[in-house]
Amino acid sequence: QLSLQLSRAASTDASSQLPIELPAYTIWGANTGVGKTLASVGLAHAAKRLQLPLLYIKPVQTGFPQDSDARLVAQASDSSLQLGQHAAHLVKPEQAALWSTSQSSQPASAPRVCKVVHAWAAPMSP
């Protein structure tokens, strides 16, 4: 089952590049194949269409780099791709250009970033 949690922050956070007034969406799913990525792609595409900033964070990705939810979300939203240090170790030198350069043509007023923090090569699920 897929659930969508909506929240709206009341204060500002100087460390963030995204305005805190923007809604934050947390998408939770109990297993693989329940639609978490599809929901993320839809929200990201809407952010692009409305010219809103976007920060998509994939905390843990398995089957990486062949399987990358962040890449799908980035393609749907014209976002740049970023890797955390843990995930970056799995990218081969010939794949580095895909992850190190922005694939985005976004205006500076609406930054859109998709990031994978931790990744494992083996495709696993609970």
Q: Tell me: the pLDDT tens digits for 51-82?
A: 999 999 999 999 888 888 999 999 999 999 88
In angstroms, the CA 102 to CA 63 distance is 22
CA dihedral 13, 50, 72, 32 (to 10 degrees): 70
Q: Please check the confidence at residue 30 and state whether its pLDDT lies above 90.
A: no
Q: What is the DSSP letter of 66?
A: T
In angstroms, the CA 36 to CA 22 distance is 20
Confidence of residue 84 (pLDDT cuts 50, 70, 90): confident
Say how many residues make up the chain. 126
Q: Please check the confidence at residue 36 and state whether its pLDDT lies above 90.
A: yes
User: 4-13: long-range contacts at Cβ-Cβ below 8 A with a sequence spacing of 24 or more?
Assistant: 4/39
pTM, to two decimals: 0.73
